Amino acid sequence: MSETIFSKIIRKEIPAAILYEDELALAFRDVNPQAPVHFLVIPKKAIAKLSEATEDDQSLLGHLLLVANRVAAQEGLTGFRLVTNCGAEAGQTVFHLHIHVLGGRSLDWPPG
């Protein structure tokens, strides 16, 4: 997988507002927030997009959801939305798997 800006954030080569970190995952605030609370949860493992995850990533993917839960609670969210854009057609711009977590306002459905 080619290098992305998120690899640099993982290596602390560029700054980010980090909310949570462990050996497998990192959560940090989105630099262009679309809601009062908007953070990203990423695996440290370089997976370009969800469709490239494999059976070997099963527990890692579950872990990312639990990190999302944990940081959402830390941020005081009682309701929140997870979004993963998979592929350019879906709006993915950074090709390192990430889960958007949005909250702090009411969210419309369906999304655009």
The catalytic residue among 38, 96, 98, 100 is 98
Taking alpha carbons only, the member of 97, 83, 80, 68 closest to residue 6 is 97
Least separation in angstroms between CB 104 and ligand AMP: 15
Is 98 noted as a catalytic residue in this protein? Answer: yes
Of the candidate spans 25-33, 57-65, 70-78, 103-111, the one that interacts with ligand AMP by CB under 6 A turns out to be 25-33
Alpha carbons 41 and 70: distance in angstroms, whole number: 11
Strand-pairing partners, residue 111, are none
- Which residues, 31 to 60, sit near ligand AMP by CB under 6 A? 31-32
Environment class of residue 11 by beta-carbon count within 10 Å: exposed (0-12), middle (13-18) or buried (19+)? exposed
Interaction site with ligand AMP (CB under 6 A) = 5, 16, 28, 30-32, 85, 91-94
The catalytic residue positions are 98
